[in-house]
Structure 1
Amino acid sequence: MSKTMPKDPQSPETNIDGRHYLSIIFSAFAKNGKSNINRSEQSMITSMQDIDKLRSAVQDVHVPLEVFEYIDGGRNPQLYTKDCMEKALAKNEQVNGCIDSYKRFKAMLLVELSHVFPNEMTRYRAVREVVVINY
């Protein structure tokens, strides 16, 4: 994201609270309530215009769908990154275990092949040294 995201002048909670307050005013409408309604309407319109202005700043932000699943599940969405890191570390340990197993297998295979095919393994090691030196 090349642009820095501007600060939201009002939080979504403030916007929701404003709508709730407006619904209370409408339900308890009286003669003096008209000025309150007009003020609340104007505040709501300004708030929505501010949100619309900020829309272009966050259009290219990608939120993984799993974050919404965290929210729907009642979990803190900030824990998503922590859980992703833990999963990546677990997978990394698993892959490193596989790599170590293959290295041990290769070493054991070379030892056994040296016992069974000593001449061929001597030639293999000579060719391998030449290849390593050339690269």
Structure 2
Amino acid sequence: MADKFEAIESHLELFIENTRQLGIIASDFKPQGQNVLNQKIHKMITDMQEIDKLKAQVQDVQVPLEVFEYIDQGKNPNLYTKDCLEKALVKNEQVKGKIDAVKRFKNMLIVELSKSFPNEMAKYRALRGDDRPT
């Protein structure tokens, strides 16, 4: 899978470099440089055709829109993964806290119900296979 990304990445890098060079040639254009300019333009067209051929290899890749927001903000897209993991860790801790609170509530409820309804709670514990005294 990494091979298809490496192929398109290398073609994109070549395209970017040729675009940069074309910009330099065009910004400092002299009539004797027309042939070089034409070659660069043709090279860009060829590069775009190559990139277009490679797009089929990566059409199944889903990229979250937030990644593009990171890029637009000038952030490294790898930070998106890090931020997602940090958010998941925080959420996991919150859910764990809620689960612990519900378990404590359940245990307190069983204790209180055992005081008020000892026979019923004994039957409940027997059904659960729980021999712990309350």
One fold, TM greater than 0.5?
Answer: yes
Structure 1 gaps of 5+ residues are: 131-135
Whether 1:70 and 2:70 are equivalent positions in the alignment is yes
Residues 46 and 69 (structure 1 numbering): CA distance in 2 closer, same or farther, change over 3 Å?
Answer: same
**Corresponding residue of 1:133:** none
Amino acid at match of 1:11: L
Count of equivalent residues: 127
Residue 67 of structure 1 and its aligned partner are, at CA, apart by: 0.6
Amino acid at match of 1:58: V
Give 3-state SS (helix, strand or coil) of 1:10's partner.
helix
Give the structure-1-normalised TM-score. 0.80
Residue 86 of structure 1 and its aligned partner are, at CA, apart by: 0.6
The structure with higher relative contact order (CA 8 Å, sep 6+) is 1
- Preserved CA contact (<8 Å) 2:12 2:51: no
1:56-109 Cα offsets, whole Å, 9 max, x none, are 111111100111111122211111101100100110110011001111111111
- Taking the aligned partners of 1:23 and 1:124, their CA distance within structure 2 comes to 80
User: Per residue, is there more helix in 1 or in 2?
Assistant: 2
Identity among equivalent pairs (%): 56
**Corresponding residue of 2:123:** 123
- Taking the aligned partners of 1:64 and 1:46, their CA distance within structure 2 comes to 30
Amino acid at match of 1:81: T
- Preserved CA contact (<8 Å) 2:70 2:77: yes
- Taking the aligned partners of 1:99 and 1:126, their CA distance within structure 2 comes to 25
Give 3-state SS (helix, strand or coil) of 1:107's partner.
helix
Give 3-state SS (helix, strand or coil) of 1:11's partner.
helix
Residues 23 and 107 (structure 1 numbering): CA distance in 2 closer, same or farther, change over 3 Å?
Answer: closer
Q: What are the residue-to-residue correspondences of 1:1-135 with 2, within 5 Å?
A: 4-5=3-4, 7-8=7-8, 9-12=10-13, 14-26=14-26, 28-30=29-31, 32-129=32-129
- Taking the aligned partners of 2:112 and 2:46, their CA distance within structure 1 comes to 79
1:15-37 Cα offsets, whole Å, 9 max, x none, are 2342343344345231x323212
